[in-house]
Amino acid sequence: MYSGSYTALITPFANGAVDEKALQELVEWQISEGTHGLVPTGTTGESPTLTHAEHRRVVDLCIEAAGGRVPVIAGAGSNSTAEAVELLLHAKASGADGALVVCPYYNKPTQEGLYQHYKALNDTADIPIIIYNIPGRSVVNMSVETMARLFKLPNIVGVKDATADLARPSQQRHAMGPEFIQFSGEDVTALAYRAHGGHGCISVTSNIAPALCAEFQNHCSAGEYGRALEIQDLLMPLHDALFVEASPGPVKYAAELLGKCSAMTRLPLVPVSETTKTVVRDAMIHARILNG
């Protein structure tokens, strides 16, 4: 159903509000550069500090700008099941092609709690749901066994895996089969993830290097791993640089260097340090997306 390079979209801000013009221009640029799909209002989109109205507006603007040319998977996660239900219903009503739902953060639910959370969402709306397993931010790690239980439900279709555990794609493929959609949630593991049977990457780096990330995934899909490795080598310093500080601070700074939007983030995130700026600039020059 879904494969390739999906951009975990940043949310541009101007004067403290969502910069709607910059957001839609970013969507247009992404599509023109070959991005295979878009994921607004995820962690990279600063969903924790968007109001509910802003969250819904960003999803609507993204879908409008995409115009059906590429799939839009709307972030619809929360540590409150009731709130996640509301966001999921909006994603469905807005015409999103799917929803990305993060494992509930801070609450530290059990595996049974995780199952019941996603089951409630599955039962709410007929829309494909991708599990977002990111223990580094949510503090809970969904087991392969829980994922296999959830995949038996009609609307649970796959996972964005940000565990950085490269045993997981093979274990999940064994448990659920090749029909279970597996996206890497870490650019640094994207090559290995594809080699282990994954379908693509929901990428931070593709915010600023969409053409290279799409080309990389195209080569993986064609089994041309030698050429994919060359692109991975080109992008690897950038993958690392964008997480020198908490994301999306570095990637928004990189987007500002490219003239795509302001580097503004919302508290508690603050502007990146001068040291980080140098690391990001150098990595962009290495990737040939910024002139030296």
**Which residues fall within 8 angstroms of residue 152, CB to CB, at 6 or more apart?**
none
Specify if 13 maps to a domain: yes
Concerning whether 6 is annotated as a catalytic residue, the answer is no
Reported as a pLDDT band with limits 50, 70 and 90, residue 83 is very high
> Is 239 inside a domain boundary?
no
- The neighbour count for residue 274, using CB atoms within 10 Å, is 8
Q: Is residue 254 part of a domain?
A: no
b/e burial code for range 236-265 (CB count within 10 A of at least 16 → b)? bbbbebbbbbebbbbbbbbbbbeebbebbb
- pLDDT tens, position by position, 172-217: 999 999 999 999 999 999 999 999 999 999 999 999 999 999 999 9
pLDDT reported for residue 42 = 96
Task: Read off the pLDDT of residues 96-106 as tens digits, 9 standing for 90 and up.
Answer: 999 999 999 99
Q: Which of 160, 252, 260, 277 is catalytic?
A: 160
**What is the token pair recorded at 84?**
């996640």
CA distance 120 to 81: 8
Judge whether 21 lies within some domain. Answer: yes
Q: Residue 209 and residue 196: Cα distance in Å, rounded?
A: 24
**Residue 100: inside a domain:** yes
The answer as to whether 251 is a domain residue is no
Would 185 be classed as within a structural domain?
yes
pLDDT reading at 242 higher than 80: yes
Q: Which residue in 6, 115, 132, 253 is the catalytic one?
A: 132
pLDDT reported for residue 99: 98
Q: How far is CA 206 from CA 13, 38, 238, in A?
A: 19, 10, 10
Strand partners, 17: 14
Number of domains making up the chain: 1
pLDDT of residue 292: 79
Please give the pLDDT value at position 1.
77
Closest CA to 38 of 122, 97, 126: 97
Q: What is the pLDDT of residue 183?
A: 98
Condensed to tens digits (0 to 9), the pLDDT of residues 39-72 reads: 999 999 999 999 999 999 999 999 999 999 999 9
- Supply the pLDDT for residue 143: 98
pTM: 0.97
Q: Kindly state the average pLDDT of the residues 249-276.
A: 97
Average pLDDT over residues 102-127: 97
pLDDT digits (tens, 9 = 90+) for 27-41: 999 999 999 999 999
Which pLDDT score is estimated for 214? 98
Domain contains 133:
yes
Tens of pLDDT, residue by residue over 156-175, are 999 999 999 999 999 999 99
Write out the two tokens for 260: 């795509």
CATH code at position 118: 3.20.20.70
According to the model, what pLDDT value does residue 8 have? Answer: 98
160 in active site: yes
The whole domain housing 127 covers: 4-225
**Which residue in this structure is represented by tokens 């397993």?**
133
DSSP assignment of 94-151: HT-SEEEEEPPPSS---HHHHHHHHHHHHTT-SS-EEEEE-HHHHS----HHHHHHHH
